[in-house]
Amino acid sequence: MASANPGSVDSTANEPKLLLPFLAPLYALLVPLAWPIVRLGTGLIFAFHGWRKIVVGPGPFVDNFAKMGFASPSFLFYFLIFVEFVGGLCVALGLFTRFFAAAATIELAYITVFVYMPKAFAWNAPGGGYEYTLFWGLMFLAIWLRGGGPYSVDRLMKRQL
């Protein structure tokens, strides 16, 4: 079926046939919620990592960052709380979604390449692996590219940062 607008794409043309067609009304109800669920889950899980830093305090993290050779480990600690905790909550809400998803993508890319990639792929390998951080980095990359979506504070503000 041709679209009325030659520059647009008919999104229903490439949809697969439903395995259970009688569930079409359920899918119609739930499919629009898929993106908010991804955003909410990804953001809240990331916020938990920032919350852990708040609860534990700077001591062990700053010491570890110093051992890794970071010039300003205390600044890095507080910066990561901002990106992970505040950013995770904002991604979950869809507020400044692209900004915080970009920051999380960059953080996770760094951790993946420089911390875990030299060790192994599997997250449960001795010393850890990059499977977990790669997965979450790709999730944030998708959110960065897609934005907050229709059920987001960004959409309510009519602005996507």
141-156 pLDDT, tens digit per residue, is 999 999 998 899 988 8
| Residue 122: per-residue pLDDT | 87
Q: What is the mean pLDDT of residues 119-136?
A: 89
**Would you say residue 3 has pLDDT above 50?**
no
Q: Whole-prediction pTM value?
A: 0.82
CB 100, CB 85: distance < 8 Å: no
CB within 8 Å of 21: residues ≥ 6 apart: none
- Chain segment 32-62, per-residue pLDDT in tens: 899 999 999 999 999 999 999 999 999 999 9
Q: What is the DSSP string of 8-38?
A: S--TTTTPPPPSSGGGHHHHHHHGGGHHHHH
Q: Of the candidates 154, 134, 136, which has an alpha carbon nearest to the alpha carbon of residue 49?
A: 136
**Residue 7: is its pLDDT beyond 70?**
no
| Distance (Å, whole) CA 64 – CA 17 | 52
Q: Quick one: pLDDT band at residue 124, thresholds 50, 70, 90?
A: confident
Q: Quick one: pLDDT at residue 9?
A: 52
What does the pLDDT read at residue 126? 86
Tokens of 100: 């915080």
Which residue shows structure tokens 């901002």? Answer: 82
Q: Could you tell me which residue, 98 or 5, shows the higher pLDDT? A: 98
